[in-house]
Structure 1
Amino acid sequence: MGAVLGDVLGFAAAVAVSPLPIIAVILILATPRGRLNGVLFTVGWILGLAVLGAVMLAIASPAGASAHKHPATWVGALKLALGVILVLFGARQWRRRPRDSSQAQLPKWMGAIDRLTPVKVFALGLALAALNAKNAPLTIAAGAAIGSAGLPVGQQIASLAIFVLIATLGLLAPLGVFLLGGERAKTTLANWKEWAAQHNVAVMAVLFFVLGVKLLGDGISILTSG
């Protein structure tokens, strides 16, 4: 189990520091129903990661590992494909980064966050976790790594739970500051939002490229040693 956790913690950390969900939860916390909506957004996020990861476990577990605990060929091919996707995403993000970080613009949908109902806030958290083109490949890769390791079911579930917990720290941090930080919370969260907004593209570009290269290496290693 330790080797699997070492494999997936990098993916979890990359999901956790994804700037857009962090900015979204900070904006949500600033709305009149910030306390309720912030919790609902985070719960939706956790559910999205857990469901997508569980789907990959269900797919990978039955035929994920050989008798010698070596990942199946299809796992290597999946990691190779995900690696290519992430490297291409990273290159695209890097080319699109603003030369002046102060000119960075947030997605237009963030302007409507203060008008979202609690149900829509929950759905937004779910979508940013499970359907987002940036986070979904990382969760799929983590699920495939866990499911193909030949672990007992209990250890698979525990590994996925740890992945989800680490991947949610980026949201739990501002939520905790809001709930426990008192009057200083607004200033702290505003500073975090400004930094994340300015460096969103560059941060994600570097993360995508580094993790994409790692997945390419993992995929090649599995395919050539099978």
Structure 2
Amino acid sequence: MGHAVGDVLGLAAGVAVSPLPIVAIILVLGTPRGRLNGLLFALGWILGLAALGTIMLAVGGSGGAADHKQPATWVGALKLALGLLLALLGARQWRHRPTDPSQAQLPKWMAAIDRFTPPKILGLGVALSAANAKNAPLTLAAGASISAAGIPVPQQAGTLAVFVLVASVGVLAPLAVYLFMGQRAQRVLGNWRNWAAQHNAAVMAVLFFVLGLKLLGDGIGILAS
């Protein structure tokens, strides 16, 4: 199990560094029912990652490991495809980044967050984790890596839980600040929000490219072995 955890930690860190979802939960925490909405957003985020990872494990099962517990060919092909996708998205993101970070604009739907109902907040958390262009490929790759480890189902579930926990640090940190820092939380979260909003495009482009190259390397290594 330790080897499987090591394989997914880098992918989990890539999911955790998600500027736009971090901005989203900070805005959610600023709504009239900030405590409830923040908890619902975090729950949705965790459920989205867990569900996507579980689906990948169910599809892969124990078939991700070939003889001698080496990753199966389909795992290499999947990582190669996901790596190529992320690398292309990184190049596109970098090309379209704002030249002046202070001119970066947030998605229009964020202006309406204070009018979202609790079910919509929960759904937003799910969407930003499981339907995100960066997070979905990384979660699928993590599920494939766990499947390829050739470990028993309980250990697969434990490894996935570690992945989800680490991948949720980015959105859980603002929630923790809100819940435990009292009056100072507004200033701290405001600074985080501004930085994440201004540098979202550049951070995402670098993450797309670096993690895409990692998955490309993993895929090539598996297919060539």
Task: Name the TM-score class by shorter chain.
Answer: over 0.9
One-letter code aligned to 1:166: V
Once the two structures are TM-superposed, the CA of residue 62 in structure 1 deviates from its matched residue by 3.3
Contact 1:48–1:125 (Cα < 8 Å) also in 2: yes
Partner amino acid for 2:157? Answer: I
Q: Match of 1:85?
A: 85
2:48 aligned with 1:57: no
Matched, 1:18 2:7: no
1:61 offset after TM fit, Å? Answer: 1.9
Q: Which residue of 1 aligns with 2:104?
A: 104
> Over residues 139-167 of structure 1, what are the superposed CA-to-partner deviations in whole Å (9 max), with x where a residue is unaligned?
00001100111011111111000000001
**Which whole-Å CA distance do the structure 2 matches of 1:6 and 1:212 have between them?**
18
Structure 2 match to 1:126:
126
Q: Is the 8 A contact 1:61 1:150 kept in 2?
A: no
Provide the aligned C-alpha RMSD in A. Answer: 0.7
Aligned pairs for 1:121-200 (under 5 A) are 121-200=121-200
Structure 1 vs Structure 2: percent identity of aligned residues? 70
What CA distance in whole angstroms lies between the structure 2 residues aligned with 1:189 and 1:160?
Answer: 29
* In 1, Cα distance between equivalents of 2:51 and 2:206: 27
Unaligned runs of 5+ in 1: none
Give 1:75's aligned residue. Answer: 75
For residue 28 of structure 1, what is the aligned residue in structure 2?
A: 28
Partner-residue secondary structure (3-state), 2:121: helix
Contact 2:43 2:125 in 1 (8 A): yes
Task: Tell me, yes or no, if structure 1 residue 45 matches structure 2 residue 31.
Answer: no
Unaligned runs of 5+ in 2: none
Give yes or no for contact 2:49–2:129 (8 Å, CA) kept in 1: yes
For this pair of structures, how many residues does the alignment match? 225
- The answer to whether the 8 A contact 1:146-1:159 is kept is yes
* Structure 2: distance between partners of 1:67 and 1:33: 53
After TM superposition, the score normalised by the length of structure 1 is 0.98
Other-structure match for 1:206: 206
Q: Which secondary structure state, in structure 2, belongs to the residue aligned with residue 120 of structure 1? A: helix
Contact 2:56 2:144 in 1 (8 A): yes
Structure 1 runs (4+) greater than 4 angstroms displaced: none
